Amino acid sequence: MPDTIATFTIALAQGNFRVGSLRANTERIAAYHRAATRIHADLVVFPEMALSGYPPQDLLFDRDFLDSHDERLAQCAQLTRDGCAMLLGAVRREGERLHNSAFLYAGGEMIGTQDKRALPNHGVFDEKRYFQAGTASHVLRLGEIKLGVLICEDIWSPLAAGELAAAGAEVLICLNASPFESGKQNEREETCKARVRECGLPLLYLNLVAVEDDLIFDGGSFVIGADGQLAARLAALREDVQAIRLVRDQGRWVVPQSVPAPPLPEDQLTYQALVLALREFASRNGYVGAVLGMSGGIDSALCAAIAADAFGPGRVEALFLPSPITSGESREDAFACAGRLGIACEEIPIEAGMRAFAAMAGPITDAILQENQTRLRASLLLARARKTARLLINTGNKSEMAAGYTTIYGDLCGDYSPLKDVYKTRVYRLAAWRNGAGAPIPQRIFDKPPSAELAPGQRDEDQLPPYPVLDAILELLLEQGLAASQIVARGYERPLVDEVQGKLDAAQRKRHQAPPGPKITRKALAKERRYPISNGWRVERAEGADPASSE
C-alpha cells in the first residue's frame, strides 16, 4: 500500500523564552506558531520549558505562578484550532507532583504528553528538587507520523530513545534547555549521532536561546538524518526558525540535506556568548548601559570591548581611578583603549580619599592600605553606576576568583561579572580574537606583566604562580576533578599544587559574595562548586590529613 502522505514539515522554533515571563512567552509562542502556519508547517516545535522559561527554580513552589502557567498553557493549546500542530515544553501538574513535560496539541486538543525521564541533579541542575521523573516513553501519533519525544537529559543515554524506537517511533524530537559550555556543541552533535546509529531514526534537536543569570542557552539546534549525517544546523546565539521537510521514502522518513549554519570558531563563539550574556542580564534587570573601571590592564580592556559590543559605545562609561602608585603607562593604555572603542573615559584620582581614610583609620598595615585603594574605587564606581542607572561591570576573571586574588567590597563588587568563568590565559585569547576587528586593545596591554598596581613594582606573580601554570592546575582541580596526587603525577611539584589548592579552598568565603557571571566552562565557581565556607576539611587537608582516615 502506498504511503498516505509523502511529506511532513516541522518548524523548529529556536526562541528566547525567559524565566517567569509567562505572558511574553505565550505571545512569542503565538508569533512563532503564526509564522509556522504561514509557511504551511505541519508541526511547530518549541524548546524544553519554553512556556515558563528554564530554569524556573523555586517559582515552581509558587501556586499563583503555576495557576497562571496552566492558564497560559490552555491558551497555547487553542492556537492550534486555526493553525498547525504544536509540540511545547511546559510544566505538567499531576496533583501535587510536577513533571517537566512536552505537550502535543492539534486542532485545539491535546494529543498526548511525554514526561522527562532522566532528571539531572548535578552541576547547575537540581531538577529532582522540583520534578517527578517520567516512568515510560510514549509514541505520539500525529496524523500518519509517529513521533518519539525526548527531553534534554533523556538523549544522553540510549534508554529512552531505544524504547521509543522499539515502540514504533519513526522520528525522534529532542526538546532542550542545554547551557553553553566551550566545546559543548560538538559533544551534543556526537551524542545525537550515537542515538541515531543505535535507533536508525532521524533526530531533530531543538535548543533554547536565552540568558538566565549565570546560564547562557546558545541555540545551535540541528537535525541528524537516519544515515547519521548532519542534515541541518541553526545559528548559534540568536533566535531562529527553520522548516525541516521530511520525505517519506520506502516506508521511512528521510531528511533531505540542507546547508547547515557553519559552526563558529570557539573563541568567537565564547566572545559572542559573553556579549549576549551581558546584554540580556542588563535588559532583564532594567539597566540601560554599563559603567566599569579602566585600569590599563587586559581584564578591564576586554570587559570594555564586551560592553561596547553589548550596548553600543554611547551607553558605556569608563572611569580611570589612579592612585599615586598608578603608572603613566596605565593611564595611556586605559585612555587609548577607551578611545579606540569609542567609549567615554573620565579620570578621578583617589589620592585625596586615601589620605582621608588613613587619617580616620589611624595606624594600619600596608595590606589594608592596598585593599582600601580598591574599596575607594568601588565606591566611586558604584556611585556613578547608580547615578546613571547603569549596570556596574566587575572586571575580575576566574583565575583571580579561584585563587582569592581579589578584595571583598573592593574589586569584587559589581552587578555582573562577564569574565567570572574565564581563566586569565583565556582572557588574552579572547582579547586577541576581538583585536582582529579594529584592534581596540593596545598591544602594550598584552605585553606588560599583569599587575594590580597597589604597591610600587607589584606584579601578580609576586602572590600567584604564573598564570599559565595556575590556570593549568586550576583546570585539573576544577574541570577534571583530579586529586592533588594525580596532578603531581602529571609533572607539577607538590608544594605548588598544595599552594593552589589552599588558595582555592580559602577563597570560598569571598566567592560567596561575588556578583553573578556567565558560565562558559564545564565547572563554574558558583553553583557547581558548593563548598561550605566553614570547612574543617580545608584545614586538615592543608595539614596533610589522609582523606581515607577522615571522619
pLDDT in tens, 231-246: 999 999 999 999 999 9
pLDDT for the residue numbered 235: 94
Element (H, E) at 98: strand 97-106
- 546 pLDDT tier (thresholds 50, 70, 90): very low
Cα gap 243→7, rounded to integer Å: 12
Tell me what pLDDT residue 4 has: 55
Strands (DSSP E) contained in 198-348 are 203-207, 209-212, 215-218, 222-224, 230-233, 240-249, 252-254, 290-293, 316-320, 344-347
C-alpha cell at 405: 586574588
For residue 418, is pLDDT > 90? Answer: yes
| C-beta neighbour count of 98 within 10 angstroms | 18
CA 533 remoteness from chain centre:
25
Strand partners, 103: 88, 113
- Mean pLDDT value of segment 376-395: 97
Distance in angstroms (rounded) separating the CA atoms of residues 11 and 241:
7
Mean pLDDT of 135-155: 96
pLDDT band at residue 90 using 50, 70 and 90 as cut-offs: very high
| Closest CA relative to residue 451, chosen from 379, 516, 373, 357 | 373
Residue 475 CA to residue 263 CA, distance in Å, equals: 25
The H-or-E segment that residue 172 falls in is strand 171-176
CA-wise closest residue to 423 among 477, 470, 465, 491: 470
Interatomic CA distance for residues 93 and 327, integer angstroms: 62
Helix (H, G, I), strand (E, B) or coil at 44: strand
Backbone angles phi, psi at 161, to 5 degrees: -65, -40
Q: What is the mean pLDDT of residues 351-358?
A: 94
Would you state the cell numbers that stand for residue 19, as one nine-digit string? 524565566
What pLDDT does residue 551 have?
A: 30
Residue 545 reports pLDDT greater than 60: no
Question: Does the pLDDT of residue 549 top 80, yes or no?
Answer: no
> What angle do the packed helices 158-166 and 184-199 form, to 10 degrees?
30
Tally of CA atoms within 13 A in the half-sphere of 57 that contains its CB: 8
| Of residues 400, 405, 401, 356, the one with CA closest to residue 376 | 356
* pLDDT, mean of residues 103-111: 97
Of 136, 53, 65, 132, give the one whose Cα is nearest residue 96.
132
Whole-number CA gyration radius for the chain:
26
Q: What is the pLDDT of the chain when averaged over all its residues? A: 95
> Do 51 and 79 meet the contact criterion of CB atoms below 8 Å apart?
no
Whole-angstrom CA distances from 512 to 205, 211, 404, 409 are: 36, 21, 11, 12
Provide the annotated active-site residues.
Answer: 48, 116, 152
Beta-carbon count within 10 A of 135 CB: 7
Q: What is the mean predicted confidence (pLDDT) over 298-324?
A: 98
In percent, the amount of the chain with pLDDT more than 90 equals 89
At residue 286, the pLDDT reads 95
CA distances from 296 to 278, 300, 319, 344, 398 (A): 21, 7, 11, 15, 19
- Alpha carbon distance 306, 242 (integer Å): 29
Distance of alpha carbon 293 from alpha carbon 385, whole angstroms = 11
Cα→Cα distances 237→84, 258, 284, 503, Å: 26, 20, 17, 35
Q: Pick the closest to residue 284 from 212, 388, 203 (CA basis).
A: 212
- Could you tell me if 112 and 101 are in contact, meaning their C-beta atoms sit under 8 angstroms apart? no
For the residues 183-197, what does the mean pLDDT come to? 97
Greatest distance between any 2 Cα atoms in the chain: 95
Contact 79, 29 (CB under 8 A): yes
| pTM for this prediction | 0.94
